[in-house]
Structure 1
Amino acid sequence: MHAFIHVQHLLGTGHAVRAAAIGQALAARGAAVTLATGNTLPPTLDTSGLDVVALPPVKSPDAVFDRLVTPDGRTIDDAWMARRRKATLDAFTRCPVDLLLTETYPFGRRQFEFELAPLVETAKTAARRPLIATSIRDILVRKQQLWKEEWMAGQALAHYDRILVHADPEFVELADSFPFAERVAHLVRYTGYVGGGARPEPPVGDGEDEVIVSCGGGAVAQALIEAALDAAPLSRRAADAPWRLLIGHDVPDAAFEAYRRRAPSGMIVERARRDFPGLLKRARLSVSQAGYNTVLDILIAGVPAVFVPFAQVRETEQAQRAEALARHGRAVVVPEKGLTPERLAAAVDDALALPHATTEVRLGGAQASAEILLADLAARSPGRPS
């Protein structure tokens, strides 16, 4: 069985992390898996067992998401899109495919319609039509125009056999962020959260009773980093704790070195680490944005948390996820707008009054995704298109 997974991350790396985890779960069950990725994968990501196809890379230069650029900052044009489309279709058609999984699309990534619509159409018209599925996180970004969300539902109904939602429905449901969830409900399967797998243990002492400040890849975390550098001595409950600031690999080296030079005594500034979940389990407190993977690691660790959700322009996803944890008494939320060291320090003090307890949440989403997709394949009559 051959699976083809397409993933495109633009700023954060969570999309690629989830796609790789599902690919590895499929590979562990005997599938040959191609992971076609449209941006540079983070160096901390394990892709062992996957055939990684590096498509011509592209990213968003900012949180507006109205322009796509190459790694050297050039805006993409029609010629670039034609090359990218050809690279994707060439990778897909080089051998028969039994499963096509598009990460996010059609529930996002409409900027890549030039590539993904032909990919789905090629799959639908193949002599041996593959199962076509989409993989989406717990919370979708709301659109200002309702017709865009209706279009998403229409595309899923017209072209897709399965919608995997990587969430625990006891915690958050698709309907919480998608107004047409009922229309596609028969295609939806909740997998639980993707993540929480084995990671290396930190060296002895690292993380013990620390305040761990993290920012994922770091591309949109300047406000949090700036505030954290000056917040430590202002906290009543955490001024005595070591603070460890983990800065993602999307932050340029020059900026990283400037942050490290500016850090106060007692604060460790270093790059993001693969043993991050282990650090959290030993920590006094976590301070972070509210990306999918970070929140999952915090839930598993059971550590009190301060969230500064990324909310620039029209982003709603992280704020909604952070508020869900706040409702469960697991976090204090500080808006990114108007963030100051004083406000962050006050939130740290409030969060340290929260209990250190694990929230029961359904995990194993990558493994469940693989099992659902393989069961869907097994249920299809041999040679019969869906």
Structure 2
Amino acid sequence: MNTSAFIHVQHLLGTGHAVRAAAIGKALVARGVSVTLATGNLLPPTLDTTGLEILQLPPVKSPDAVFNRLVTPDGDPIDVAWKEMRTAATLKAFAAKPYDLLLTETYPFGRRQFEFELSALLEAARQSDRPPLIATSIRDILVRKQELWKEEWMADQALAHYGRILIHSDPDFVQLADSFPFADRVEHLVHYTGFVGGGPRPKPPASDGKDEVIISCGGGAVAEGLLMAALEARPLSRRAKDTTWRLLVGHDISHGVFEAYQNRASEGVIVERARRDFPGLLERARLSVSQAGYNTVLDVLIAGTPAVFVPFAQAKETEQTQRAEALAKHGRAIVAPEHNLTPERLATAVDEALALPQTHTEVLLGGADKSADILLEDLRARAA
């Protein structure tokens, strides 16, 4: 049977959503599925999309952490005409051929500001001559909403349109109910896949990363406080002032700002762009210092490296703080709050992390492969 899948992903600031969607897509390709990855933002240059048909939708992003505005890559606000253009592009792509599977990354458990597009996509899927299996792919922790009705709306949408909810988590580590009050309503649709990530990556050259402090920030769009503190924290650390500190600056940070970071770097501090061999650097490192995004935390867990997490917590963001605190409870990390972060406070957190007993937290991995297996089994069950 020739099976085809349409995956829709929209990342706004961080790149984790796109990374997970691509990983699931590649796992489906490895099982003989033809996969179209429709991306609503520019994919990071470090992302391997081999085997996927990439469909670039008119790109849009959030200019800040408030997430109440959407702008084009040039910073222009979107309007009704743009929304109509974007919706038309999505529907045209979906209509290009019959799809057996429609996978929406995050939606309806987030990305509600794209309801104008995704509700139309769901309706088109339901009206198809051969309606596809509709599934959603969500990370371990959802951002809580201040208005309970918005979370109830998520459950209503899932029940109305979706046949499967994939949660990329280890249920012994974190469950949907930890961040979603209506988890019981959709429980019959849920499958935990394990964490998505940890696949083969290039090995770092020579001795890069060996005994270093690796500071990373994903795409880097909201990491200024962490990077500025890290540039000056090395000489203030008692346990790590004798080793190289390597700052990996995300590709969402402009060239001018990147050069400014390089110019501020003191002796013993290397500033360079984010690298695809980041997991290999972690395996060799003395310590990881980072935000607490999904992919970075997973890389840290796999490497078994001591860690300091500075969770992104601007505006109403709670997801990274909850994830970082979960690891801290396992004795795997020190949490340094983003608010009022200083070089002195970061250096203290580094010393505390290096004093932690060496432990290894086993978590369920292989989430991309497990997701692909679940989806294909669902398709087989529908055809039976």
TM class, shorter-length: over 0.9
The 5 A counterparts of 1:182-331 are 182-331=184-333
Distance 1:203 1:354 in 2: 29
Match of residue 46, structure 1, among 42, 45, 48: 48
- Structure 2 residue aligned with 1:22: 24
Distance 1:378 1:354 in 2: 48
The 5 A counterparts of 1:60-99 are 60-99=62-101
Percentage of identical aligned residues: 75
Q: Report if the CA contact (8 A) 1:100-1:131 is conserved.
A: yes
Post-superposition shift, 1:241?
1.1
- Structure 2 residue aligned with 1:157: 159
* Cα displacement string for residues 270-317 of structure 1 (whole angstroms, at most 9, x for unaligned residues): 000000000000000000000000000000000000000000000000
- Structure 1 residue aligned with 2:341: 339
SS at match of 1:380: helix
Q: Which amino acid aligns with 2:198?
A: G
SS at match of 2:363: coil
Q: Report if the CA contact (8 A) 2:244-2:268 is conserved.
A: yes
* Cα displacement string for residues 103-145 of structure 1 (whole angstroms, at most 9, x for unaligned residues): 0000000110010000011101111010000000000000000
Distance 2:359 2:38 in 1: 38
What's the RMSD between the two structures over aligned residues?
0.6
Q: Which amino acid aligns with 1:312?
A: Q
**Structure 1 unmatched runs, 5+:** none
The 5 A counterparts of 1:133-152 are 133-152=135-154
1:127 aligns with 2:129: yes
* Cα displacement string for residues 185-205 of structure 1 (whole angstroms, at most 9, x for unaligned residues): 000000000000000000121
Q: Report if the CA contact (8 A) 2:331-2:359 is conserved.
A: no
Post-superposition shift, 1:356?
3.3
* Cα displacement string for residues 346-377 of structure 1 (whole angstroms, at most 9, x for unaligned residues): 00000001133331110000000000000000
Distance 1:167 1:146 in 2: 24
Post-superposition shift, 1:90?
0.4
Match of residue 36, structure 1, among 35, 38, 56: 38
Q: Which amino acid aligns with 1:226?
A: M
Distance 1:254 1:238 in 2: 29
* Cα displacement string for residues 160-185 of structure 1 (whole angstroms, at most 9, x for unaligned residues): 00000000001110110001111100
Q: Report if the CA contact (8 A) 2:332-2:360 is conserved.
A: no
Q: Report if the CA contact (8 A) 1:303-1:357 is conserved.
A: no
Distance 2:119 2:357 in 1: 48
Q: Which amino acid aligns with 2:169?
A: A
SS at match of 2:383: coil
Distance 2:349 2:67 in 1: 30
Q: Report if the CA contact (8 A) 1:141-1:316 is conserved.
A: yes
**Structure 2 unmatched runs, 5+:** none
Q: Which amino acid aligns with 2:318?
A: T
- Structure 2 residue aligned with 1:374: 376
* Cα displacement string for residues 203-259 of structure 1 (whole angstroms, at most 9, x for unaligned residues): 121111000000000000000001000101000000011100000000000000000
Post-superposition shift, 1:319?
0.2
Q: Report if the CA contact (8 A) 1:285-1:304 is conserved.
A: yes
SS at match of 1:105: coil
Post-superposition shift, 1:381?
3.4
Match of residue 113, structure 1, among 99, 112, 115: 115
Distance 1:73 1:307 in 2: 30
How many residues align? The count is 382
1:355 aligns with 2:357: yes
Q: Which amino acid aligns with 1:64?
A: V
* Cα displacement string for residues 12-57 of structure 1 (whole angstroms, at most 9, x for unaligned residues): 0000000000000000000000000000000000001000000000
